[in-house]
């Protein structure tokens, strides 16, 4: 495909490790991801340099862009949380020759992708596979951190994303094992948020705590979360299975709480972790803990729960944002 032959927009999903770029046609009804590439952020001095490299490689000169970044996006200056990249909207816009630039939060981009997902882009944990997307939608994503967002509206009136900091609410442990985990994390961090448990590092902490029966030193060497998941799925490492089972149980509680707070009708689980162990999640205490909300069991039982398996939901959401920005600019 000759990227220069179409009026395409640049889209990007920028994290601390990888910078994902693609092009999209912002005037089509269905968002597209064209010429996707993944670049290692460590190899580039700035977002501008990485974007210029990508555009030169695909031979495109877009006049608009929608860029999702792993950081807060308020104000003119943007600083990535886990990468020493910063830029101002105006300077990046000028450097790339853009007429229009939208900068959105990376988990906000995942949320914008939800209405554009096709049936092959998710797995239904509970509810009908063919059930239409019904709002409000709670979106929660364990990964490097814990993203939480709210999607409101409907297909007829349009959708709107409410970005939140729901991952930083206080952790509410249930049972002796979770109390032990909470005590250890409190001793190390002072305050324990839900994100301290429901993220990659959180799984590593839980594994170390269970291995030491709560007596791991603060500077304990942690296993890689991917190693823990692999060991748990292989079935030979009992502690790894306990750690992943506890992770799933806590996730169930938090997802249920989030759905109640949002008044949700649908839950979408995003992030890079859960798609790796969907069968394990199904057989865990996830659903039991999701439903363990006293008088609201029946309300939660009616809810559709899905796991996003699309390989690039951030890019898909950026494509939706590019189209939305164009529509907002066009005369009515």
Question: Which residue positions form the known binding site?
Answer: 12-17
Q: Are the beta carbons of 267 and 138 closer than 8 angstroms?
A: yes
Q: Are the beta carbons of 243 and 203 closer than 8 angstroms?
A: yes
Give the integer Cα–Cα distance in Å for 59 and 77. Answer: 28
Residue list, annotated binding site for ATP: 12-17
Tell me if the bond preceding 256 is cis, omega within 30° of 0. Answer: no
**Cross-strand pairs, 66:** 11, 102
Q: Are the beta carbons of 140 and 269 closer than 8 angstroms?
A: yes
Q: Which residue from 117, 21, 26, 19 is spatially nearest to 327, judged by alpha carbons?
A: 26
Give the integer Cα–Cα distance in Å for 21 and 13. Answer: 7
Which DSSP category does 221 fall into?
P
């Amino acid at each position: 495909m000759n990227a220069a032959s179409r009026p395409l927009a640049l889209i990007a999903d920028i994290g601390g490790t990888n910078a994902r770029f693609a092009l999209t046609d912002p005037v089509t009804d269905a968002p597209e991801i064209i010429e996707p590439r993944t670049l290692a952020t460590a190899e580039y001095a700035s977002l501008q340099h990485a974007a210029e490299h990508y555009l030169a490689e695909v031979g495109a000169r877009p006049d608009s862009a929608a860029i999702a970044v792993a950081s807060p996006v308020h104000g003119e200056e943007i600083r990535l949380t886990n990468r020493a990249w910063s830029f101002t909207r105006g300077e990046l816009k000028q450097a790339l020759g853009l007429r229009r630039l939208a900068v959105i939060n990376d988990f906000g981009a995942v949320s914008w992708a939800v209405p554009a997902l096709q049936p092959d882009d998710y797995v239904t944990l509970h509810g009908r596979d063919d059930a239409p997307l019904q709002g409000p939608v709670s979106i929660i994503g364990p990964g490097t951190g814990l993203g939480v967002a709210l999607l409101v509206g409907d297909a007829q009136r349009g959708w709107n994303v409410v970005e939140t900091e729901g991952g930083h609410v206080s952790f509410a442990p249930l049972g002796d094992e979770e109390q032990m985990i909470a005590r250890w994390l409190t001793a190390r961090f002072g305050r324990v948020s839900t994100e301290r448990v429901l993220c990659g590092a959180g799984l590593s902490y839980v594994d170390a705590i269970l291995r030491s029966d709560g007596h791991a030193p603060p500077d304990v060497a942690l296993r890689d979360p991917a190693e823990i998941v692999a060991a748990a799925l292989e079935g030979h490492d009992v502690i790894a299975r306990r750690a992943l089972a506890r992770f799933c149980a806590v996730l169930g509680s938090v997802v249920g709480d989030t759905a109640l707070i949002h008044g949700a009708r649908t839950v979408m689980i995003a992030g890079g972790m859960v798609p790796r162990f969907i069968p394990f999640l199904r057989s865990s205490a996830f659903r039991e803990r999701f439903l363990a909300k006293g008088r609201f069991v029946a309300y939660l039982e009616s809810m559709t729960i899905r796991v996003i398996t699309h390989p690039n939901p951030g890019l898909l959401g950026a494509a939706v944002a590019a189209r939305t920005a164009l529509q907002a600019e066009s005369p009515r």
